[in-house]
Amino acid sequence: MHVREEEIKMIMRQGTPKRQGIVRTPQFPGMQSGSKTIEEVRTWIKKQKRAKGYVHALGAASGANEFNLDISGSARIFLGFALLFTESGIAAQPDSFTMQINDEIVINQVQPTFFSPDFMDDEYYFFPRPLAGTDTVDVFYNNPGPAQTVFMIVYYV
């Protein structure tokens, strides 16, 4: 982005505005779309997508492994997730993945490779579910193979 000569001369004459940087960035995100109050900007920010990462260590031939996903109490919509494995090849990965949200099994014994980047068009597997703020989200892996680490990222609003 190039700054025009007139803008440079104006900045040199008037000085830098107190609430904006040299590139005229707003003090708060969201304020560039008009004269919003700080409270309106905070409300807008609360509605933006957030992500939280988890590391699940699966033991060798350990069978069932259960992990609780501690999602923020301010989360209102579970948007989706993605998985990444340290071991490559389907034979080395867990043979099933189950996800339970508030005692409802939403994914039941699916080969977890289907939720890896190779099977997704977007950055995560879109699987929206409403949340209430006091939710329990549990994931279960059945791992008959070698020990490995599963990286999981969860997206929510």
How many structural domains comprise the chain? 2
Domain end residue (candidates: 28, 45, 62): 45
Do both 53 and 29 map to the same domain?
no
Residue 65 has pLDDT above 70, yes or no: yes
CA–CA distance, 115 with 136 (Å, rounded to integer): 20
- Strand order of the β-sheet with 63-69 is 63-69, 137-143, 96-101, 104-110
Q: Are 18 and 90 within one domain?
A: no
Same structural domain for residues 32 and 54?
no
Q: Considering the chain, what percentage of its residues have pLDDT values greater than 70? A: 78
pLDDT tens readout for residues 99-142: 999 989 999 999 988 888 888 778 888 989 999 888 999 999 99
Cβ partners under 8 Å of residue 21, min gap 6: none
Q: What sign for the dihedral angle of Cα 92, 136, 102, 129?
A: negative
The answer on 9 and 80 residing in a single domain is no
Do 28 and 54 have their domain in common? no
* 27: containing domain: 5-45
Of the listed ranges 33-47, 56-70, 142-156, the one predicted with least confidence: 33-47
Q: What is the mean pLDDT of residues 24-51?
A: 71
Helix (H) or strand (E) holding 126: strand 125-130
Q: Residue 88 is part of a domain; what is its CATH number?
A: 2.60.120
Q: Where are the beta strands (DSSP E) in 16-89?
A: 50-58, 63-69, 77-85
Range of weakest confidence among 55-59, 72-76, 96-100, 139-143: 72-76
Claim to verify: residue 60 and residue 119 sit in the same structural domain:
yes
- pLDDT value of residue 147: 86
Same-domain pairing of 97 and 57 = yes
Q: Cβ-count burial of 16 within 10 angstroms (0-12 exposed, 13-18 middle, 19+ buried)?
A: exposed
Q: Is the domain of 18 the same as that of 74?
A: no
Q: Read off the pTM.
A: 0.71
- Render pLDDT for 74-83 as a digit per residue (tens, 0 to 9): 888 999 999 9
Whether residues 37 and 80 share a domain: the answer is no
Same domain assignment for residues 14 and 57: no
